[in-house]
Structure 1
Amino acid sequence: MSEHDMDAIVGRATEQVNLLEEALAGLASITVRASSESDQVTVEVDGNGNLTGLWMDDSISTLDVRVLAALITSTSHEAARLADEQRALVMRRLQDAFGRV
């Protein structure tokens, strides 16, 4: 194998490592907020859908606890769904980039 061939292999490997690092950074930076239709509940999740923030308007004090629980749950699910979409976008970009390398 020639020196030129080795340089090409090392260059390609380096580019792939850089692509992976960019993807990992992109995944780690995902933060999504979703609010209920009534704006009484806002939920923030990370790229894995883990809850990182929960805000509730003072008006929730008038809600039945079951209604509030359903509102928090549905808003959390929406935030997690949006985070999943962003994760999928990062992964599609990575796959596309690997196809070009």
Structure 2
Amino acid sequence: MSAEMDALLGRVNDQLATLESTLHGLSQVRARFTAEDRSVTAEVDAEGALTGLWLAESATTRSPAEVSRLILWACQQAAMAATTQRARIVAGLNESLTPAPDISGSLGGSPDSA
């Protein structure tokens, strides 16, 4: 094979490895939030789907409306943390797939440039 083809295949293999790494990273995203009084803990995945919910016995001393608000708030906080993790992973993917600027070209631009 030519050197150009070898370089192209190398870049494609690197991008494939990056995509696989990103998918693995996204599948591992979990965020957990525990209320300050430790009465509610919520855990979510990369999509913000609830994967775990723990209620302490102290939650039984509150009204159902109060407990439901606390559960929703804990879920929201966990989802925000998961979104932050996911954004970091996707940003890394975007950076690795963005081609580096070609500084070896001429200053006149390409034939299609205006």
- Tell me, yes or no, whether TM beats 0.5: yes
Q: Relative to total residues, which structure has the larger helix share, 1 or 2?
A: 1
- Computing the radius of gyration over CA atoms, which structure comes out larger, 1 or 2? 2
- 1:29 counterpart = 2:32: no
Query: Once the 2 structures are TM-superposed, how far is the Cα of residue 99 of structure 1 from its aligned partner?
Result: 2.9
Aligned twin of 1:65: 64
Aligned twin of 1:10: 9
- TM-score of the superposed pair, with normalisation by structure 1: 0.93
Question: Runs ≥4 in structure 1, deviation > 6 angstroms?
Answer: none
Distance between the aligned counterparts of 1:100 and 1:61, measured in 2? 56
Query: Once the 2 structures are TM-superposed, how far is the Cα of residue 96 of structure 1 from its aligned partner?
Result: 1.5
Query: Once the 2 structures are TM-superposed, how far is the Cα of residue 39 of structure 1 from its aligned partner?
Result: 1.0
Matched positions, count: 100
- TM-score of the superposed pair, with normalisation by structure 2: 0.83
Give the gaps of 5 or more residues in structure 2: 101-114
Aligned twin of 1:50: 49
Query: Once the 2 structures are TM-superposed, how far is the Cα of residue 100 of structure 1 from its aligned partner?
Result: 5.9
Q: Indicate the RMSD between aligned Cα atoms, in angstroms.
A: 1.3
Distance between the aligned counterparts of 1:43 and 1:3, measured in 2? 55
Query: Once the 2 structures are TM-superposed, how far is the Cα of residue 81 of structure 1 from its aligned partner?
Result: 0.5
